[in-house]
Amino acid sequence: MDNAPIYLDNNATTMVDPAVVEAMLPYFTQHFGNPSSIHSFGNQVGKGLKTARGQIQQLLGAEHDSEIIFTSCGTESDSTAILSALKAQPERNTVITTAVEHPAILTLCEWLEKDGYVVHKLPVDKKGRIDLDQYKSMLTPNVAIVSAMWANNETGTLFPVEEMAEMAHAAGIMFHTDAVQAVGKVPIDLKTTKIDMLSLSGHKLHAPKGVGVLYLRRGCRFRPLLRGGHQERGRRAGTENAAGIVALGKACELALEHMGHENTVVKRLRDKLERGILAQVSHAFVTGDTLYRLPNTANIAFEYIEGEAILLLLNKMGIAASSGSACTSGSLEPSHVMRAMGIPYTAAHGTTRFSLSRYTTEAEIDRVIAAVPPIVAQLRKLSPYWSEKGPVANPEQAFAPAYA
């Protein structure tokens, strides 16, 4: 039992809830019809989709169930939202986003820039917060859309998206939020906000991979990304991923039930994990806005060591986490989120993210608290920035390698 694997990488993806699997299974062999068909095979599937739409409407607090458009993933929802806003308002050429968005937004924006569009990225402060006054000054008539994430995937920091949406609305600008990390973890009631579009992804909330949603407020000008059949009222052509959609519906129903648990039990375990590690490990700190963030995410920077090395040693102990270090992403640069917050390189490379779920237990957290300090000590022993008692005096000067 002691070596049973511990999964603390729920911001990457989650286990599919067994109840969700049970709900979707009949849609492979029993209710396999095409919901567009007139016969009873199709009809049953149509009913399943309708139920799912309602369950998602509930979780998001959407006014109408027709505001839910099923897609294949969060990335598709993000691309659809931004490209639609530009296509529907050809006289506007500017996108406002933030420096810490997911690549689903940032890479798209870079590509748009090559096509001549203007992209403004809001900077963040040391805790990953934006300045609303600066944001307000950017809301000019040539802006087609603002896209800001609800919760940051690396630090869990929440943006005040409801307030940002109000401000965009007041300036006559569409507002989109990538909420893939927030949905199911923080209460959302879209009908009381001015948010025009919202992206969510099934596999972040215990539904399978390959299904997502774009919430589209009724009346918001829209131009589909995929054209073809009449599915999703012509707003997203392509035969529905029926089993995945039914699963997502069930997962949303369960997420609503567990919202309280997430914000009490999971939050307490997360706080215990942070306190337990920081009490034993010096020169480590929690990144992001610790007062306003997701209940399940702990991102700890361990100074003078590198994240991939930490993950490999954690993995050896059966603990799954993730890192903002360059080496784990396949890119050469450390996480753009850490750099945007001005975290020094020697700490940014050592950031480690533990993301919990409703399945995380107290015993697991205790094991992680015990496992981390020796791992950090072991790697610091190898580090040229570290001496026996602590960091070498003036670490940046004592070790100043010739960089290639």
Task: Report how far apart, in Å, the C-alpha atoms of 112 and of each of 74, 221, 368 are.
Answer: 19, 20, 43
324 binds other proteins (CB under 8 A): no
377 binds other proteins (CB under 8 A): no
**Interface pick for other proteins out of 333, 359, 374, 390 (rule CB under 8 A):** 333
**Interface pick for other proteins out of 325, 351, 355, 357 (rule CB under 8 A):** 325
Question: Is 73 among the catalytic positions?
Answer: no
Output the smallest distance, CB 316 to other proteins, in A. 7
Contacts of 330 (CB under 8 A, 6+ apart): none
**Interface pick for other proteins out of 18, 116, 172, 330 (rule CB under 8 A):** 330
Tokens of 57: 């409407």
Q: Which stretch binds other proteins (CB under 8 A): 52-60, 122-130, 203-211, 324-332?
A: 324-332
Find where tokens 């998001």 sit: 60
Output the smallest distance, CB 320 to other proteins, in A. 10
Q: How far is CA 144 from the centre of its chain?
A: 23
Candidates 109, 220, 252, 327; catalytic one = 327
354 binds other proteins (CB under 8 A): no
Do β-strands 284-286 and 212-216 pair in parallel, antiparallel, or remain unpaired?
unpaired
Residues 248, 163, 261, 275, CA torsion sign: positive
359 binds other proteins (CB under 8 A): no
305 binds other proteins (CB under 8 A): yes
In the three-class reduction of DSSP (H, G, I as helix; E, B as strand; rest coil), residue 348 is classed as helix
**Interface pick for other proteins out of 47, 345, 359, 374 (rule CB under 8 A):** 345
Of 138, 86, 136, 137, residue with least CA distance to 112: 86
287 binds other proteins (CB under 8 A): no
Tokens of 320: 């799954």
Output the smallest distance, CB 257 to other proteins, in A. 34
Tokens of 262: 């997430």
331 binds other proteins (CB under 8 A): yes
Number of other residues whose CB lies within 10 A of the CB of residue 402 = 4
Catalytic residue numbers read 327
The residues of the shown chain that bind other proteins, judged by CB under 8 A, are 304-309, 311-313, 315-316, 325-328, 330-334, 345-346, 348-349, 381-385, 387, 399-404
